[in-house]
């Protein structure tokens, strides 16, 4: 438990959906009610139904139907404050219903996000004096709820929640169990075999495959002023909320607003990957900091080599930095990520008669002349040998101010390894201060995203995943690659480091797999993991120079299977990139119909493995007019780039 109580932020974030482009908030008729204290809350299309009632013990319970099928069975909800269960022995007031609709720009797998749902506010009295509100949102593809407790006298002890999720017995879960930084391996378990004593703890998100083509994803949205939630099994199919980084709870002064507890409900993997729910539940960006929202000009997505990958801390040597800039420019990269080590005197940045920040400014000027921006790494915790940490607000402000003065474009902050209230509060402050200095952010060593890159679009990406850095000393299971697009990547972009070229780093995967992976594991900030010369000498260099990092549209093709096969198409302008990953240990043959992705006179450039997995074949010509067969070797991949003909002025 935190010794020092936290205080609620002075400006309220409890308002209905704010307007960025289009927003509607309208009172509607009362939700359907059965007997007293039983409600059915629906989305605008009445596809999804959130049932709320009390059980025989007087506990508030919830369940969900979708497409006329029960997808979540009755389970408890509630919050415990100062020893009181707020959802037991309750009296409810009249339900307020509203309609929410808005659209806003986005950086990532699509260029627009839609928030379209019904909202419900249910006033509740627990005991003689304590009142609070259960707020529910019901979407066509999801439900979300949160707890709102008004400010009281003094500080209060938030001891946890009684929130549980009861899955059908036929569910199969995809999960990982690293709660510090979410760098665990995703694997599958049967919901019916979940233990209760002791329970299995897992990080969010958790994806559940049901029968009859239904997939659920459980996560949380808008994690602010609260400890981060994980899940613990409590018997067959049952998962309960736990707060592993504040196990004794925390003290809070002011209004208590929980994050949204979210369940996405998809009838296919395309619907799952394209869910807009998490950002739709978060606040819009501050117009003073981001006057054009996600399209604010200084929010520049791009690609970057990394000085640490394959080089270690030695990549921070001062005498290598301008070479790194030159290779970044040759690769067509927008940025260079100067990773760990640059702050110490070991690598030549600090010498007699020189100043560290003078060197940083020199590098930024050199890079700017070559249209490359510099991103700087910094550790969050104190006590490391590579510079002071950022746990103190004054150190954050000094670091960001010096970065802005030197011409740095963004920062990578590392080693949080926690989702405690203290850490959540610090991360929010880092986002805000970075935005005030017009700095992009890439968080590493940190748990899951919760949609707040809507509020802070300067957070282009974060780790929160076991990514390809692990290929340097071990290897990633193929099933992990096959699970991530339908688990971790659903809730936000990941700095996965796709695109190894050298054979000894690709491990079980092929070059065709790694090329296709740069499209599947796309991120608004895409960091290249391999030696820059490996890309410059690769036959696929034109691809690495031109692959987009943000997209207008993404589609998951029907043959995709979680943990086994990823088949995905992404569009940028008139060009489509169709990527296929065989995440199994046997060959797979697929069929691709090019007519869906091309138009008359379009060209198609194909990247695929040779049958012996040793090389990549690259072919370019007119797009085929009929469906054709695609053979994928085990751990292999293929990429089909449909694009207009290339024209060079002055050529015949």
* Tens digit of each residue's pLDDT (9 = 90 or more) over 134-175: 999 999 999 999 999 999 888 999 999 999 999 999 999 999
Q: State yes or no: pLDDT of 384 exceeds 90.
A: no
Q: State yes or no: pLDDT of 29 exceeds 80.
A: no
Are 417 and 181 spatial neighbours (Cβ–Cβ below 8 Å)? yes
Q: How far apart are CA 573 and CA 643, in angstroms?
A: 10
Average pLDDT, the chain: 93
Q: Fold identical between 39-281 and 284-464?
A: no
| pLDDT tens digits, one per residue of 400-410 | 999 999 999 99
Among 77, 100, 249, 296, CA closest to 165: 77
Residue 547 pLDDT level (bands cut at 50, 70, 90): very high
Lowest mean pLDDT among 199-208, 383-392, 575-584, 593-602: 383-392
pLDDT score of 260: 99
pLDDT score of 152: 84
- The class of domain 39-281 in CATH terms is mainly beta
Assign 271 to helix, strand or coil.
helix
Q: Once rounded to an integer, what is the mean pLDDT over residues 395-400?
A: 97
Assign 137 to helix, strand or coil.
strand
Assign 275 to helix, strand or coil.
coil
Half-sphere exposure (Cβ direction) of 309: Cα atoms closer than 13 Å: 27
Q: State yes or no: pLDDT of 651 exceeds 50.
A: no
Residue 344 pLDDT level (bands cut at 50, 70, 90): confident
pLDDT score of 650: 57
Among 82, 92, 81, CA closest to 54: 92
Residue with token string 């696929």: 540
Phi-psi region of 645 (alpha: psi -120 to 50; beta: other; left: phi over 0): beta
| pLDDT tens digits, one per residue of 586-606 | 999 999 999 999 988 999 999
pLDDT score of 353: 81
DSSP letter for each residue of 582-641? E-SSS-EEEEE-GGGT--TT-EEEEEEE-TTSSSEEEEEEEPPSS-EEEEE-TT-EEEEE
Q: State yes or no: pLDDT of 480 exceeds 70.
A: yes
Q: State yes or no: pLDDT of 304 exceeds 50.
A: yes
Question: Above pLDDT 70, what percent of the chain?
Answer: 94
Count CB-CB contacts under 10 A for residue 490.
23
Q: State yes or no: pLDDT of 32 exceeds 90.
A: no
| pLDDT tens digits, one per residue of 96-140 | 999 999 999 999 999 999 999 999 999 999 877 789 999 999 999
pLDDT score of 649: 61
CA angle 376, 381, 384 (to 5 degrees): 80
pLDDT score of 350: 85
Q: Once rounded to an integer, what is the mean pLDDT over residues 614-622?
A: 96
pLDDT score of 285: 98
Are 344 and 317 spatial neighbours (Cβ–Cβ below 8 Å)? no
Q: State yes or no: pLDDT of 24 exceeds 60.
A: no
Residue 14 pLDDT level (bands cut at 50, 70, 90): very low
Residue 7 pLDDT level (bands cut at 50, 70, 90): low
Compute the Cα dihedral for 545, 557, 277, 448 and give only its sign: negative
Q: How far apart are CA 282 and CA 417, in angstroms?
A: 23
pLDDT score of 2: 44
pLDDT score of 20: 36
Q: Once rounded to an integer, what is the mean pLDDT over residues 460-470?
A: 98
pLDDT score of 205: 98
pLDDT score of 4: 55
Instruction: Give the tokens for residue 393.
Output: 């607000």
Task: Say which residue, 265 or 7, is predicted with more confidence.
Answer: 265
Q: State yes or no: pLDDT of 21 exceeds 70.
A: no
Q: CA dihedral in degrees (519, 473, 481, 169; nearest 10)?
A: -150
Q: How far apart are CA 392 and CA 254, in angstroms?
A: 23
| pLDDT tens digits, one per residue of 43-76 | 999 999 999 998 888 889 999 999 999 999 999 9
- The class of domain 284-464 in CATH terms is alpha beta
Q: Once rounded to an integer, what is the mean pLDDT over residues 577-582?
A: 98
| pLDDT tens digits, one per residue of 425-455 | 999 999 999 999 999 999 999 999 999 999 9
pLDDT score of 66: 97
| pLDDT tens digits, one per residue of 203-229 | 999 999 999 899 999 999 999 999 999
Q: State yes or no: pLDDT of 492 exceeds 90.
A: yes
pLDDT score of 19: 35
Question: Above pLDDT 90, what percent of the chain?
Answer: 85
Assign 249 to helix, strand or coil.
coil
Beta partners for 187? 175
Give domain limits for the chain: 39-281, 284-464, 470-651
- The class of domain 470-651 in CATH terms is alpha beta
Q: Once rounded to an integer, what is the mean pLDDT over residues 332-357?
A: 90
Measured CA to CA in angstroms, residue 162 lies from 79, 208, 250, 285, 548 at distances of: 6, 21, 16, 32, 44
Lowest mean pLDDT among 338-342, 477-481, 493-497: 338-342
Task: Say which residue, 573 or 384, is predicted with more confidence.
Answer: 573
pLDDT score of 6: 73
Q: State yes or no: pLDDT of 362 exceeds 90.
A: yes
| pLDDT tens digits, one per residue of 504-546 | 999 999 999 999 999 999 999 999 999 999 999 999 999 999 9
């Amino acid at each position: 438990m935190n010794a020092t109580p936290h205080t609620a932020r002075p400006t309220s974030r409890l308002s209905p959906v704010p307007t960025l482009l289009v927003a509607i908030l309208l009172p509607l008729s009362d939700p359907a009610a059965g007997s007293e204290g039983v409600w059915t809350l629906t989305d605008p299309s009445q596809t999804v139904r959130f049932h709320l009632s009390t059980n025989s013990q007087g506990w508030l319970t919830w369940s969900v139907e979708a497409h006329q099928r029960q997808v979540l069975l009755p389970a408890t909800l509630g919050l415990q404050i100062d020893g009181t269960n707020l959802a037991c022995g309750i009296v409810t007031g009249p339900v307020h219903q509203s309609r929410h609709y808005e659209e806003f720009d986005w950086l990532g797998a699509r260029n627009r996000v839609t928030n379209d749902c019904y909202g419900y506010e249910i006033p509740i009295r627990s005991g003689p004096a304590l009142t609070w509100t259960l707020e529910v949102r019901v979407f066509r593809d999801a439900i979300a709820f949160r707890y709102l407790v008004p400010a009281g006298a003094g500080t209060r002890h938030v001891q946890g929640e009684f929130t549980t999720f009861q899955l059908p017995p036929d569910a199969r879960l995809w999960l990982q169990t690293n709660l510090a930084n979410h760098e665990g391996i995703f694997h599958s378990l049967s919901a019916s075999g979940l233990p209760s004593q002791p329970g299995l703890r897992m990080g969010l998100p958790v994806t559940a495959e049901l029968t009859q083509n239904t997939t659920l994803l459980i996560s949380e949205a808008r994690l602010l002023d609260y400890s981060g939630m994980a899940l613990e099994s409590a018997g067959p199919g049952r998962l309960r909320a736990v707060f592993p980084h504040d196990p004794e709870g925390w003290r809070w002064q002011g209004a208590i607003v929980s994050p949204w507890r979210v369940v996405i409900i998809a009838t296919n993997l395309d619907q799952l990957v394209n869910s807009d729910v998490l950002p739709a539940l978060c606040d819009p960006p501050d117009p003073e900091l981001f006057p054009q929202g996600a399209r604010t000009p200084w929010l520049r997505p791009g690609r970057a080599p990394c000085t640490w990958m394959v080089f270690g801390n030695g990549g921070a040597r001062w005498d290598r930095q301008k070479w790194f800039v030159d290779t970044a420019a040759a690769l067509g990269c927008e940025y260079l990520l100067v990773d760990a080590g640059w702050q110490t005197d070991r690598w030549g940045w600090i010498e007699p008669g020189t100043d560290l920040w003078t060197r940083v400014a020199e590098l930024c000027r050199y890079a700017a002349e070559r249209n490359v921006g510099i991103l700087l790494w910094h550790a969050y915790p104190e006590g490391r040998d590579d510079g002071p940490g950022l746990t103190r607000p004054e150190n954050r402000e000094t670091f960001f101010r010096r970065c802005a003065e030197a011409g740095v474009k963004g920062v990578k902050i590392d080693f949080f390894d926690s989702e405690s209230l203290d850490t959540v509060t610090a991360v929010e402050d880092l986002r805000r201060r970075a935005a005030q200095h017009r700095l992009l952010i890439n968080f590493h060593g940190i748990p899951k995203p919760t949609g707040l890159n809507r509020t802070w679009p300067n957070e282009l990406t974060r780790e929160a995943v076991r990514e390809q850095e692990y290929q340097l000393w071990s290897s990633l299971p193929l099933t992990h690659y096959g699970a991530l697009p339908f688990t971790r990547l659903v809730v936000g972009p990941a700095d996965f480091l796709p695109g190894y070229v050298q054979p000894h780093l690709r491990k079980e995967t092929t070059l065709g797999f790694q090329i296709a992976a740069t499209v599947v594991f796309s991120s608004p900030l895409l960091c290249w993991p391999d030696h820059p010369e490996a890309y410059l000498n690769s036959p696929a260099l034109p691809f690495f120079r031109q692959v987009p990092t943000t997209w207008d549209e993404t589609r998951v093709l029907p043959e995709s299977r979680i943990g086994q096969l990823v088949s995905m198409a992404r569009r940028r302008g008139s060009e489509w990139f169709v990527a296929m990953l065989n995440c199994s240990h046997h060959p797979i043959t697929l069929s691709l119909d090019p007519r869906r992705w091309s138009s008359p006179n379009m060209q198609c450039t194909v990247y695929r493995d040779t049958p012996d997995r040793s090389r990549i074949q690259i072919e370019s010509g007119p797009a085929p007019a009929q469906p054709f067969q695609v053979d994928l070797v085990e751990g292999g991949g293929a990429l089909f780039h449909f694009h207009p003909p290339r024209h060079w002025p002055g050529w015949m």
